[in-house]
A = this chain, B = another copy of it.
Amino acid sequence: MITVDDATELATSALTATGVPDTRARRTAELVVLADVWGIASHGLMRLPYYLSRLSAGGLRATADLTVVRDTGPVVAFDGNDGLGHWQLAEAAEVATRRADQYGLAAVSVGRSSHCGALGLYATPGIRHDLLTLVFSTGPAVMAAPGTATPLLSTSPIAAGIPGGPRPVIVDLATSAVARGKIAARARAGEALPPGWAVDANGAPTTDAHEALAGMLAPLGGAKGFALAFLVEALTGAAIGPSLATDVPDMFDHDHDPDPQQIGHLVVTINPRLLDVDGQAPQRMARLAANVEAAGGRVPGSNRTMPWDLDGGQSVPVADELVAELRSWSCGTLPNRHQRSNLHPTAVREERST
């Protein structure tokens, strides 16, 4: 357990030690720590050593800039030049809010970027501006088409920010049935998987957790999830590029540390006040949330602390071992391959709310 402020300092100095400029390192650190605060440990500090390792090996360029490829006003395309996805997508999301404030809606792409952590993080600038936000990204191929055995699509995540209710809503979900971490947890516990979670290496449905880990994730609800994932890949990998999911190296395989991921991200922001037929949208949003709660349900993703409400003194659960590892990174003493990565982000059991 350390505080948010201490965790942010620690992550910032580990990133600056690998050459990331201070402002960008701090912004990235804040996003990584916020994922931990949100309970998404697999995308929190536990993931940082993998970024640091890639920064050292050149698969992430510490000094990469975000350069403008195209700017029409409501549409901006950035080239990430193989930099860290976190600060790059955060910057893109900020630009998208300013442009939507000006034009009513905006789309901002970041091509040739890298893993950005929890996608819902990038909905918070839109929420601050009272904008509807949609965020899409891609990653390494881990899902096959139903009935086939070749990994083609990433978990194809979708995130959204919905302002206007009693609390901001952040929807954040992979279009795979479950995260790989849930399968790893079942494997460790020696438990079988429910049907529909995964397929084996031949593409056949399996409830054996070990076969599933050697196989692929199943798309959410079968063909529908695959169609959604295909849409996300079309919006990111294909439309933005330059990598399709099938080209993106796995960041957990250190042999690929020198290979850039070249991931495409997309943010779309819309001013909902412009869509409203009768000026009653805020009341309807409040009623929608109230209806869910009155029925005994949970409004999805409404329990997340917004960055501007974060208490720097609050505790973040972080293993001592990880703190020690990050300290050695921040001192410029790189852990060797056998010391690092004992804490594998896909092996964490977490309850992530969509």
Residues of A within 8 A of B (CB): 69-70, 72-75, 77, 79, 103-107, 109, 111-112, 132, 144-150, 152, 158, 160, 162, 164, 169, 171, 173, 177, 195-196, 220-221, 223-228, 230-231, 233-235, 237-242, 244, 246, 264, 266, 268, 270-272, 274-278, 280-281, 284-285, 287-288, 291-292, 294-301, 353-354
Contacts and interface: CB of A to CB of B under 8 A. Distances in A.
Given A105-B107, A228-B171, A275 B270 contact: no
A74 B77 contact: no
- How many subunits of this chain does the assembly comprise? 2
B109 A275 contact: yes
B284 A74 contact: no
11 contacts: A77-B277, A109-B275, A147-B297, A152-B288, A227-B301, A234-B288, A239-B276, A239-B281, A241-B284, A244-B284, A264-B275
Contacts of A144: 295, 297
A134 B69 CA distance: 24
A239 B105 contact: no
Contacts of A241: 276-278, 280-281, 284
Given A105-B107, A220-B225, A281-B238, A298 B145 contact: yes
Question: Most chain-B Cβ atoms within 10 A of its Cβ — which of A72, A132, A231, A242?
Answer: A231
Contacts of A233: 288
A22 to B, nearest CB: 27
For chain A, what secondary structure do more than half of its interface residues adopt (helix, strand, loop), or is it mixed? mixed
Given A112-B277, A225-B220, A276-B111, A299 B238 contact: no
Contacts of A226: 297, 300, 354
Contact of A285 (B73, B107, B238, B280): B238
Contacts of A224: 173, 220, 354
Contacts of A228: 158, 171, 173
A255 to B, nearest CB: 23
A285 B169 CA distance: 32
A201 to B, nearest CB: 14
Given A148-B296, A241-B284, A291-B246, A231 B162 contact: yes
A227 B112 CA distance: 29
A106 to B, nearest CB: 8
Q: What 5 A-B pairs have minimum CB-CB distances, sorted nearest first?
A: A111-B277, A145-B297, A227-B300, A150-B295, A75-B104
A246 B289 CA distance: 12
B230 A171 contact: yes
Contact of A72 (B103, B225, B280): B103
Given A227-B301, A280-B242, A295-B148, A104 B107 contact: yes
Given A107-B104, A147-B297, A227 B171 contact: yes
A228 to B, nearest CB: 7
Contacts of A132: 234-235, 239
Contacts of A77: 274-277
A4 to B, nearest CB: 26
Contact of A300 (B223, B277, B300): B223
A69 B277 contact: yes
B297 A75 contact: no
Contacts of A145: 292, 295-298
Contacts of A149: 295
